[in-house]
Amino acid sequence: MSEMLNNAIERQTIGILIPMEEEIELLLSLVEIKSEIKIASRTFFNAQFAGKNVVLVKSGIGKVASSFTASLLIHKFGVKSILVTGIAGGIADHVKVGDIAIAIDAVQHDMDCRPLFPQFEVPFTNKSFFKSDPNLTSKLESAAKQFVDTEFDNEVSLETMQQLGIELPKIYLGRLASGDQFIGTFNQWEKIRADVMDTLFVEMEGAAVAQVCHDSGIPWCSIRTISDKSNAMAHVDFNLFLHKAAKIYTAGIVKKFIELL
Ligand code: ADE
């Protein structure tokens, strides 16, 4: 696709799908909300930021909640692309709590219709790995870099960094695995590493949204902050990060991303 056409697509409304209240609340206070529409227990916020139109929504957790929400964003609100964001668990060894992970592709690690279809393949799509949009993904990378370089020190206090045991975030691009499971035991972590090659991070929504976007013919992208290492301490680290830091990263990165669209 030509660059001109790409830019034209991105100037149209983008849907921003975030699973939990704690992740979305700060961002909602920073955009100019034009209207709120309630459908099926969800509030869709039509908003503007940096001269761009966005529809923000808290989806709820899991593949059903997020794919239903993505369908509404596309087919009711007419968004032309979707960003999925919030927090995630690290799977690769080098990814630490507080780092930022961006999806190159996404797979449903609990999709298994063997022997009818190969493991992970979504029946009738001929696909296991759904690629994110390269143009939006490179904008996410730039946005994350800008956030880390210019805002992180002001936004995250030393006290919070010490409490969470985090450092200046590193930014990684790689494979996202999603499924209807919180990954918080050694066995779960090991299984994902053994089953799904090269997984960088894990959460419960992105690959489902990627499938909806694929079926609907629209581009998607995803960026998440690592709240835990998907190990036996994951539930503790997850809650601490969710309440102390998730909204700061999400708002900081998403603001920069919208500016770059
Ligand atoms: N979101 C954040 N941490 C997660 C984990 N360990 N498993 C699944 N989803 C997550």
Provide the pLDDT for residue 11: 59
Provide the pLDDT for residue 91: 98
CA of 71 to the centre of ligand 1 (A): 23
Average pLDDT over residues 130-135: 98
Residue 31 backbone phi and psi in degrees, to 5 = -95, 165
Average pLDDT over residues 76-98: 98
- Sequential DSSP letters for 111-156: ---TTTS-TT-BTTTTBS-EEPPHHHHHHHHHHHHHIIIIIHHHHS
**pLDDT greater than 70 at residue 9:** no
One CATH from 1.10.275.10, 1.10.1660.10, 3.40.50.2300, 3.40.50.1580 for 2-260: 3.40.50.1580
**Ligand 1 lined by 225 (C-beta under 6 Å):** no
Provide the pLDDT for residue 10: 45
Provide the pLDDT for residue 8: 44
Provide the pLDDT for residue 191: 97
Query: Residue 97's pLDDT band (boundaries 50, 70, 90)?
Result: very high
Pick from 6-15, 80-89, 202-211: least confident = 6-15
**Ligand 1 lined by 238 (C-beta under 6 Å):** yes
**pLDDT greater than 80 at residue 135:** yes
Provide the pLDDT for residue 12: 87
pTM for the full predicted model: 0.95
- Beta strand extents in the chain (DSSP E only): 14-18, 32-39, 42-49, 52-58, 81-90, 100-108, 130-131, 171-178, 199-203, 220-228
Run of H or E residues at 158: helix 158-164
Average pLDDT, the chain: 95
The catalytic site residues sit at 23, 228
**pLDDT greater than 90 at residue 3:** no
Query: Residue 189's pLDDT band (boundaries 50, 70, 90)?
Result: very high
Q: Which atom of ligand 1 is nearest to 230's Cα?
A: 6
Provide the pLDDT for residue 78: 96
DSSP 101: E
Q: Using only the alpha carbons of the chain, give its radius of gyration.
A: 17
**pLDDT greater than 50 at residue 5:** no
- Supply 24's token pair: 């979305």
